[in-house]
Every structure is written in C-alpha cells, then in structure tokens.
C-alpha cells in the first residue's frame, strides 16, 4: 500500500473521482494551472483538462454560487476556498442556498457540492490565514461538516463527500498537510513530523461520513478531538500517563453520538479539545450532548481545552493552541475531581 501525505491523499481522491465521473468538476482560486496554494490540485488540470479543473476569479461568493447552480443541474463540483478565513463572502451561498436547496424545493433539486478549505493555524499565517470556523457550519441544518486527521481518512472522506447527495463542508487542517507536527515560537518542529505520510489504498474507497474513529482505547477518561488536536491528545496522554480513550470525531455533522456515549459511559470522564476559540465553539455542543446522554455515568465535571477567546495571535500562536501540556493538565484535573 503506498504512503501519502494528506496533500497527496486529497489530490488522489479528486483524481479518482475526476476519472470515474464526468460530472465531477474541480475549481477555485489558483486551483487549475498552479495547482492550488498548497499544491493539493497539482497536475489535475494537465491530466483532466481545463474544462474539468479550472481557475476562477478571486470571488468566493461567485465560486460557491456557481457551484450551487451546477450541483442543482446534476454536476458534482468540488470547489476550493483558498483559506477557511476567506469563506465569509460565500457564507450566504453555503448556508442560505446550498444547505436549503433540497428542502426548499421539496427535493426537486439537490446540491451535491463539496467546499474544501484549509483550516486552522500553525503556519504563521496570521489572523487572516489561521482561523477555525467549523462551529459556523455545524449550526446549519442541511450541511455536513467533516475534518480528517490522517491521509487515509482524508482520501476516503473526500471521495464520500463528492459522492454525497448533499453539500459537505470539508475542512483540511493545514498543520497536517505535510505530516502532523507541533512547534515552538520559532516554528521549529519538535514532534510528530517523523511520520509525514500514512498508508493510503490505491483507487476508490470511502470512509463513512458520520462515523467516529476510536484512535486509542482507554479506561480512565474519554478525549473528544478532531483534526490536529487528535495528535495533541495523543502526546498529552503519553505525557500524563493517564489511560485515556481518544475519539477522533472525523465528522462533526452528523455527529457519531453512539460511539461517544459508549466511551463516556465506560470511562465516566470526558475532556473536549479543539483549536477554535472557546466561546460558542463546537466543544460547547459536544459537552451538552455528553451531559444529556451520559449524566448518570459521569464521575467528574466535563473539561474543555480550546484556543483563546481572542483574535488569532500571530506572535504567540503556539501558546494560543491547546498543546500537550494544557491537555495533560485537564486530564489530571478530571481524574482528581
């Protein structure tokens, strides 16, 4: 089985679907000739042609609006918003048009659309290249929201998203594109980068949207994480010595509450970790779901470890992120309470 980085796995997923289905289109800013700012689409235009893989003007609303119209007419567009921070001009098209089209038309029209976007920090991109806006989309009925943490999941989830009959917001953690790592204030990698690639099957396969992955089995506490924070959680468990069960959510909407519930009922404790800001972040929804489903099984208060409630701090981003130290402290606290 070949090994791929997440970038290579995403490219392979689009390549597979472009070859399989003539209705699939890939487009966005610099996606065609240049191959995308992160090179996720490199070589696809040369292989599949300018009518299937093409560049657009710098206009996110137009990119997604055009894709909604194409999807309503039977095409399967897979569009790239260059950074998640740039999605706001297209928010109306995603939430008011794409998410509602099936229901407002009484299923006369559907919207099989994928909106890919690099998300999160870790590349010293500053305030306008580092945001984690997943909670803005998990609030919207009619959307699906996924975020992979491994190359295997990235390819399988993207193929599943392209084949899905409804719109999918596909968030890609930039810090995982070329292998998971965390760093210090200089940006120097101090962990994880020794595993830049993972085994990814050739050809077509899918990972079910709406199904979490038990990344590590444990008995003391459940950690709910997604994207880059899965690796932070793993490092924190090793640092703390606590036997934690790590659940990689993979899909935020729909949410695999069954897997979460079974884990928390077993451990009696739960720590939620995400990179986005704390207030109104997706962690609040996770805590509410766990509290409602597992109240009588809980042995201690639920814990959240998140980004700061502040505009993204360029100079101190490695403090802003939940790191292994902060997660390890939360694990110890939930064991002591």
pLDDT tens per residue, range 283-305: 999 999 999 999 999 999 999 99
Identify the band that residue 193 occupies on the pLDDT scale cut at 50, 70 and 90: very low
The pLDDT value recorded for residue 195 is 53
Tell me the domain boundaries of the chain. 3-199, 213-336
Query: For residue 27, what are the β-bridge partners?
Result: 54, 79
Q: How far is CA 3 from CA 151, 179, 199, 200, in A?
A: 9, 12, 4, 6
Nearest 5°: phi and psi at 209?
Answer: -70, 130
- H or E stretch covering 319: helix 317-320
- H or E stretch covering 163: helix 151-163
Average pLDDT over residues 2-17: 96
- Region for residue 3 given its phi and psi (left: phi exceeds 0; alpha: psi -120 to 50; beta: otherwise): beta
Statement: residue 138 has pLDDT above 80: yes
Tell me the two tokens of residue 164.
């899905």
* Cβ atoms of 1 and 199 closer than 8 Å: yes
Collapsing DSSP to helix, strand or coil, 337 comes out as: coil
Of the candidates 44, 89, 29, the one whose C-alpha atom is nearest the C-alpha of residue 65 is: 89
Active-site residue, 204 included: no
The pLDDT value recorded for residue 181 is 57
Tell me the C-alpha distance between 131 and 118, whole Å.
9
Average pLDDT over residues 247-265: 98
Tell me the two tokens of residue 107.
């299923």
Identify the band that residue 183 occupies on the pLDDT scale cut at 50, 70 and 90: low
Identify the band that residue 196 occupies on the pLDDT scale cut at 50, 70 and 90: low
Tell me the C-alpha distance between 189 and 209, whole Å.
31
The separation between the first and the last C-alpha atoms of the chain, rounded to the nearest angstrom, is: 45
Average pLDDT over residues 18-23: 98
Tell me the C-alpha distance between 233 and 242, whole Å.
11
The pLDDT value recorded for residue 262 is 98
Mean pLDDT of the chain: 93
Q: Which CATH architecture has domain 3-199?
A: 3-Layer(aba) Sandwich (3.40)
Identify the band that residue 1 occupies on the pLDDT scale cut at 50, 70 and 90: confident
Spell out the CATH class of 213-336. Answer: alpha beta
Tell me the C-alpha distance between 65 and 77, whole Å.
11
Catalytic site residue from 129, 139, 195, 204: 129
Identify the band that residue 126 occupies on the pLDDT scale cut at 50, 70 and 90: confident
Query: Cα 104 to chain center, whole Å?
Result: 27
Identify the band that residue 263 occupies on the pLDDT scale cut at 50, 70 and 90: very high
Query: Cα 330 to chain center, whole Å?
Result: 23
Statement: residue 187 has pLDDT above 70: no
Tell me the two tokens of residue 9.
């796995």
Statement: residue 186 has pLDDT above 60: no
Statement: residue 127 has pLDDT above 90: no
Residue with tokens 């990689």: 248
Query: For residue 263, what are the β-bridge partners?
Result: none
User: Which residue has better confidence, 188 or 266?
Assistant: 266
Q: Which DSSP letter does residue 2 get? A: -
Long-range residue pairs from 45-50, CB within 8 A, at least 24 positions apart, any chain: 47/15, 47/18, 48/15, 48/18, 48/19
Question: How does DSSP assign 70-96, residue by residue?
Answer: HHHTT-EEEEE-SSGGG-GGGHHIIII
**Those residues with Cβ within 8 angstroms of residue 188's Cβ, 6 or more apart along the chain or in another chain:** none
Instruction: Tell the burial category of 305 from Cβ atoms under 10 Å away from its Cβ (0-12, 13-18, 19+).
Output: buried
The pLDDT value recorded for residue 182 is 52
Query: What are the strands, taking DSSP E only, across 30-187?
Result: 53-55, 76-80, 114-119, 144-146, 168-173, 182-183
């Amino acid at each position: 089985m070949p090994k791929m980085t997440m970038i290579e796995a995403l490219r392979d997923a689009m390549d597979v679907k472009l070859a399989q289905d003539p209705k699939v289109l890939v487009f966005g800013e610099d996606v065609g000739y240049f191959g995308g700012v992160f090179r996720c689409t490199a070589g696809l235009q040369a292989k599949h042609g300018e009518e299937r893989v093409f560049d657009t003007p710098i206009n996110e609303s137009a990119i997604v609006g055009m894709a909604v119209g194409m999807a309503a007419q039977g095409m399967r567009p897979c569009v790239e918003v260059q950074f998640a921070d740039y999605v706001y001009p297209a928010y109306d098209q995603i939430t008011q048009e794409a998410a509602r089209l099936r229901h407002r038309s009484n299923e006369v029209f559907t919207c099989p659309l994928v909106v890919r976007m690099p998300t999160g920090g870790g590349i010293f991109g500053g305030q306008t290249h580092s945001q984690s806006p997943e909670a803005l989309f998990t609030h919207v009925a009619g959307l699906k929201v996924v975020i992979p943490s491994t190359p295997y999941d990235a390819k399988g989830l993207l193929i599943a998203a392209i084949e899905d009959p409804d719109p999918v917001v596909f968030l890609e953690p930039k810090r995982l594109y070329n292998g998971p790592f965390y760093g210090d204030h200089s940006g120097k990698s101090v962990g994880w980068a020794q595993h830049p690639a993972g085994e990814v099957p050739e050809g077509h396969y899918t990972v079910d949207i709406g199904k979490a992955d038990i990344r590590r089995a444990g008995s003391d506490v459940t950690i709910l994480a997604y994207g880059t924070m899965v690796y932070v959680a793993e490092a924190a468990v090793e640092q703390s010595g606590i036997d934690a069960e790590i659940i990689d959510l993979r899909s935020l909407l729909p949410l695999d509450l069954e897997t979460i519930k079974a884990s928390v009922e077993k451990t009696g404790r739960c720590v939620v970790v995400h990179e986005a800001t704390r207030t109104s972040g997706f962690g609040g929804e996770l805590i509410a779901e766990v509290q409602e489903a597992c109240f009588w099984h809980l042995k201690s208060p639920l814990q959240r470890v998140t980004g700061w409630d502040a505009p993204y701090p360029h100079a101190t981003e490695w403090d802003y992120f939940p790191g292994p130290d902060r997660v390890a402290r939360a694990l110890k606290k939930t064991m002591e309470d």
